[in-house]
Each structure stands twice: as structure tokens, then as C-alpha cells.
Amino acid sequence: MKRIIPTAIFVLLSLLLSIGTSIAQQAKPAGRLGGTVKDERTAEPIIGATIIVEGTRAGTITDVDGRYMIKGITPGKYTITVRYAGYKAVSKPATIADNAVALLDFMLATLETSVNEIVVTASKGKPEKKLESPITIETVNAEAIRTTASPSPLGAAAKLKGIDFVERGINTVDITSRGLNTQFNTRMLTLVDGKLATFPGIGLPQFAFSPSPAIDLAGIEIVVGPAAALYGPNAHAGVVNMITKDPFNFPGAEISAKGGSQSLYDIAGRYADYTGKFGWKVTGQYMHADNFNSGNTFIFYPKKGLIGENQTLLNPETLASRRITNEFFNALLDSGYAWRDTDLSDFKAEFIKADGAFYYRPGTAFNMNVAAGYSQSTGFVGSNFGVLEANGYKINYQNVQFNGRIGEVEWYVQVSRTGNSAGNSFQLHDKAQYMAQEVSRIRRISGNENLPLSELRKLINMDYVDSASAIVDDSQLYDSEFQLRYKIGQYDLVGGFQYRYYDPKASFLTNADNVNPGKDITATEVGGYLQADTRVLDNKLRLTAAARLDEHTYYDLQFSPKLAAVYSITPNHNIRLGYNRAFKVPVILENHLYLFNGAARGNVNGYTITDAKDSQITGNVVTKFDALKPEEVSTIEIGYKGLWEKKFFIDAVGYYSVYQDFISPAAVVADGRRTFAYDDSGKLTGLGGQLTTYFNYGQAKILGLDIGASYFFSNDVSLDASASFIHLANSDNPYKALGIPLLLNVPTNKYKGTLTVKNQIYDGTLVAFHVRHIPGYTFRAGRWNGKLDDRTVVDLTIGYNWKPYGLSFQASVSNLFDDKTPDVLGAPVTERFFLVQVTKTFGSFIND
């Protein structure tokens, strides 16, 4: 039954397309609105200003020339509002006539704050002022993405308040928030234009591996904190929504070339345009570089129960019963039972991306766009067991979206399919295992017993090692949503249904051909949500209530409510109070993982741990680990946003979260020497009862505070700063006696600051100076145990925008003072990195 559902979705999609085309042919009369938006002082065009037709969902963004065009507006009288960060909002009346273009130009005066920024993720697609949002939301615009000093465009998110940011090399990053971090972060839901952007088999967010090139990103919006009421399971710590440029708002061509340290070169291009009702865009990117070194060593020595371990066994943070000495570690290296990552990887980083979309906008009642993309990526991916080297990891997606307005009801439908293929990817710890096994095989041959390692290496069958350590991942994911938005009296309502279908097929899961071929581990998630929003007390008080129900193949019905109130003391000072409850459903990997011949497993059925008795693998029950169940968090937030004297802007939020049954990082629960693990059928796990798995802790209470402030010295000079605090106030760890820790795995404090100076040296110049300080902290997750030292990263960007010629130049250096501490254990040390970039933009080739 489950396998025919994706087909049924696309049959339904075809019907919708047919119905939609019919609706479009009978659509009501429509007109257009166009014009320009410019700076009142300089008369320069403002790029990326938001234009909204009040009372509708119609809106757009100005292009590189400050122009805009909104199509498909039902004839009538409207109020048109323009907003842009750092400028005062302006509203004007407009009358729209059938088959006519109404022209309306705007001149914006500067306002030294970004409180007027418009976001769409906070209320599931509805444009609203960031200042009035009922949740915590952070934003990155296209300019910040383009001018980041980080080798990854998502490095711009490192500056944001409350965000935990990890660089795993030249081109891979992790983004999360509010603690309980691991090497394998699945608590932050990731979207591209509102559609799910997740690895179908692994369950991790795609982030930089997404097929969308950075040159096509209009911005990034990050909801910080639980967001399950609108976005469903696994929007547990928040939502990252990457928003791409559409051809009607961003027509023309753009070419970008980068070069930098580590032999990096990066070429990207975009062409988008429209004619009449039709629009299209094509984007592409190729990036290649030498990745940074990690300094990791992976161990395979079964005689001592060391399977898939690493150099952190030397650290005092590792349990004494598992810790090893330096002498033994060096002996393992000399004998071929431990291998450095320089022996296992060629440390390459690469992107190949191609993305395109076709748009059809005949009018108000029905609009459509179809998109497809492909990426092939090489880089490091975090793992609780070691490091995954994505080597040509391929992602492809197909997506179709419909939206329109019939009477007072706005509707939206999207269906997408995401597939991936592992290419030549492998896990470094697996490769070390097969290298060690080859050494053992060669030493068993007569005459080879005393061969030095240098000679043994020449006899290793690398074709076998590469083949044995390669992973297979041919998983698929289907994601769909139907949404209605309408107004009843003074209430704005949005409601919808979502359906997701996971079809994992991978060599590291329990349905692998060498484990349990044909086993059905597919899963479905079905959810429905409704949010009501109203304003009272002369529009000073905004009240929001939302509720969502979700059902998962493996788990009972889940209820996620949300309540929020935003009170405007004055137009520039708001306070808010909110409550959210969210669930994190165990991802496929946490339920069905299968590594190291079963010594590392998911936990879908539970395990029993016994001690040794008379040196036999039978004994007393030490503990039991029940099957995983969904993690729950309830959060209360109180926040304030205010602008003082048009110079000083402050944004502060405090939160108190109570976690129930929160899911652990992968942890060693039986070592095969003193403790032994049995599965639900009574069989020993792994090689003699070893087991690393996931489980549910009890309750944890977390207190946190994020404070951000901006001071505007002038229209072009600003200083942004933030400080974050998080504390594990109370926790219930039923497995503490087994030596299993419970940690937030993030620093208690974080400090960030950015100085931006524009047009001071010469008109069009930019200087940006960013610093972030991360105090040291203890990190324990899976096979990684240790303490990270303090890390201070300083970035510098210098740029010049030669507007008359559509050229921009940029030179930057990240980690200016070459801090040698990685962002997380096992990650490469991102050393001082130089980058230069040239970008050329062209106007539309069809529309003047």
C-alpha cells in the first residue's frame, strides 16, 4: 500500500494541473503594477526591496536596476507598501485596471535599522515585518551571502544571533541552535523555497549540498526555536529556509568567478528572464579545492574491542575503561591497526550544480512553476562514528508548485521528489577497518610475519579496500503540501496538510543486501495544521494560535500547539510572549542504522545489556534500552525588539525549554568485554556483544538567553553585536551509572560582532569586519570525546561595486589570525583562508 502512494500523488498532481489550466482559462480579469524603487538621497536603485499589495499575497522584489513588476492583480483599488532594510516603509494608493499596467515609483528615505525587513517563513508563506513576528527569526540577505568571507556561502549564517555554526571544511557546514548538539544534527528542518531539503537516506539537512547554487539565493531565513506547529516533526530546534530568486523579480544574467587558498576555483552562472506569462531560469556552479586537514586517526583492533574508534580515546574525557595510552596508540599506528586520515582520503572538495525552473503566471486564480536540480558533491560530513567522505554524492530533485487566489481564498500546492546516490562515497573509519584487515591477512602469509609496515602497505589490495568500504545509498523522499489561506472577519487563517514518504535503500541500513535484503523500512508522515491570527486593542496586540496533528508509521499521533502574543508598545517597540511544543521523530538512520557488522545499530526494537559471569557471555541484566520514541520539547519564550532614537536597535529573547525523552547521540552501551548487548530476539549484537546505539534520556530543562544589538553611526556605518547564554538547569540521566554522559555539547556562551562600512572610502566601497568568540567546552557524541579549546575567528571583507558596469569586486580573508581550533571534534581545522571574487551582472535580454 505504501509503495503506491507516491504514484498516487503524481496522478493527483496531473489532475490538479488539468483543473488548474481550466481555471486559468476562466480566470478573472487581471492587471499589472510596475515601477522603480530608489534611494531618496542618492537616486540610486535599491536592489531587493519588497513590494506588497496589501490585503493579498501578491508581492515581489526589485531587480538589479531597482525595477519591479507584479502581474495577475485583480482590478480594484489597493494600498502598495514598499519596505527595505535600513529604509522607512512607504505606502501609496494604486488603482489596477484590466489588461493595463499601473506605474508607481518610490523614493525611500533611510532609517538606521533593519526592523522593516520582510520575512515569509515565520507564518508559513505570509509576508510580514520581522519586528512583528510571533517567533524568533534571523535573516541573511543576498548581499550578505555574496560578501561572506567564508569559503561556503552559508558562512553568512555564522554571524547570526543564537546560531551554532560548524564548518566541516571548504564546502560543508552545519547549522543548529539551542543545544543538545551531536555530530549528526537532525533537529533543524531545512527547506528550499518551502520544500524539504533533506538527504532521504541519511536524514541530515542538505545545507550546502543542495542543488541550488549560491548565485541564485535571494536570502536565508532561520526560525530559531521549536516550529513544529506549522512545519511538523523535526522542526525541533528551528527551520532553515533558503529562498531562491525567481525570474520575474530577478531577470537577467549573472556570472561569478572566485579563486583562493587551497587551490580553490569556483565559477557560477545564472540566466533568468520572462516574457508575458512565462518565466524561466537556469543556474549552474562548479567549485574545486583542496580541503583542510582534520588530523584524525581511526582504529580497528578487535582483540581489544577497538572497532571504529579514533584518537579521542587518548583524551581524559573518554571513560577510563575505554581510554588508551600514547604508547599503545603509537604501537597501533606502527603495526597497521590504526590509520591516519591522510592515508585514507585525498582531501578534495568539489561541487557540480545545475538547477532550473519554468514559471507560468496567467493571472490571480492559477499560477504554476516547475523546477528540477542536480548536485554532485565531495566533502566531509559529520558522523557520530567517524567521518563520512561524500565523494561524488549526488542529489536530484523535481518539484512542482501551484498557487492562486479564488475569491478571498488563497491556495497553494507543492509536490517534490528527492533522490540521492552515494557515488564513490565512503566512511573513513570503514576504510581504516579494511586496511587493518588487509594487514592481518598479509601477516598470516608465511614469511610476512615480521614485515615492516612500509613493506606491508605495498601488498595491500587497495581495489578490495576501496570496494569494501564504499557505501551505497539510493534512497528517495516524497514531500507534498496543500495549503489554504483565508480571512474570516478579523481572523487571518492558514491551514493545510502535508505528506512525506521515505524510501531508504542504503548499505548502512538494516535493509542492506548483506544484512536483511528486502526488509521494508519505508516510513510515512502525515500532518495537518491550522493557525489563526488576529489583532486587537487598535492593532497594538497581535494574537496567534496554531495547532498541528502528525502521524508517523512507527509512532502514535502527536499534537503540537503554539500560542503567541506580540504587543506594540509604540510602532518601534514590541514585546512578545510565546509557547511552543514540538516533536522530533527518530530519523531512518536512528532507527535502522547497521555498521561494523552490527556493533553499531539503530534502535527500533530495544536492547538488553548484561554483565559477564564467570567469563561467559551470560550474566545479570545491567539495564534495558527501550525502542526509540519521539522526543518532545515544550518552550516558553519572552522577547523584546526596540528601536531607540533611530540609532540603536535591540533584539533580546529568553527561553525556558523542557525536554522529554530526548534522543541521545550514538553512545557505546556495551563494550563486548565487561558488558554485552542482546537484541529483541535474544541474539548477541556485533562482534561478541558490542553495541553503539541511540536511546531516550529522561527529562532535561534548559535556560537560554540571546541578545542582539545594532548601532547605526550613519546611513552607511553600522555595528552589530550579539551574546548568547545557554544552561542545562536540570536533567534526568538514567544511564549515568554506565558512564554515559548527558551534555549540551555547545558552549555556554557565544559572542559575535560585525562592523560594516559602506561608501566611505569611495562610493560603492564596502569594508566588513566580523569576529566571533566561542569559549571552550566539552563534547561527547558517539566515538568522539574531548574538550575543544577557545576559538576566535576574525573575518575581513573588502569590496567595490562598480554599478555603471554591473561589476563587483571582492577580496576577503576568513580566520584572519589563523586560529587552530576546529569548530567541532573531528572536523578539519579551517585555517586562514584568502578569497577573491568578481561578479558581472547583465540586465534582462528581453525586457528593458
pLDDT of 123 reads 63
> In this model, does residue 1 exceed pLDDT 60?
no
Give 26-64 as a DSSP string: TPPP-EEEEEEEEETTT-PBPTT-EEEETTSS-EEE--T
Each residue of 73-123: pLDDT tens digit? 888 889 898 987 667 778 899 999 888 889 999 998 765 444 456 666 656
Each residue of 162-204: pLDDT tens digit? 999 999 999 889 999 988 888 888 888 899 998 999 999 888 8
Which H or E run includes 230? helix 228-231
Each residue of 604-662: pLDDT tens digit? 999 999 987 554 556 788 899 999 999 999 999 999 999 888 789 999 999 999 999 98
Neighbours of 687 (CB within 10 A): 14
At 428 the three-state DSSP class reads: helix
> In whole angstroms, what is the distance from residue 372 CA to residue 470 CA?
28
Q: Which residues pair with 644 in a beta bridge?
A: 648
Query: Do the Cβ atoms of 153 and 172 come closer than 8 Å?
Result: no
Each residue of 763-793: pLDDT tens digit? 899 999 999 999 999 998 888 999 999 999 9
> In whole angstroms, what is the distance from residue 815 CA to residue 822 CA?
11
pLDDT of 612 reads 73
Residue 56's closest CA among 401, 497, 482, 365? 365
Q: Which residues pair with 143 in a beta bridge?
A: none
Top-tier CATH class for 1-111 = mainly beta
Q: Which residue has the higher pLDDT, 353 or 307?
A: 353
Give the HSE-up count for residue 520: Cα atoms under 13 Å, Cβ half-sphere: 8
pLDDT of 6 reads 46
Each residue of 526-569: pLDDT tens digit? 999 999 999 999 989 999 999 999 999 999 999 999 999 999 99
Mean of the per-residue pLDDT values for the chain?
Answer: 88
> In whole angstroms, what is the distance from residue 482 CA to residue 497 CA?
5
Q: How confident is the model at residue 348 (pLDDT cuts 50, 70, 90)?
A: very high
Each residue of 34-59: pLDDT tens digit? 999 998 877 788 887 889 888 777 88
Q: Which residue has the higher pLDDT, 65 or 775?
A: 775
Q: How do the domains of the chain map onto residue ranges?
A: 1-111
Query: Do the Cβ atoms of 454 and 336 come closer than 8 Å?
Result: no
Each residue of 705-718: pLDDT tens digit? 999 999 999 878 99
pLDDT of 202 reads 86
Distances (CA, A) of 93 to 57, 268, 802: 17, 40, 35
> In whole angstroms, what is the distance from residue 464 CA to residue 663 CA?
36
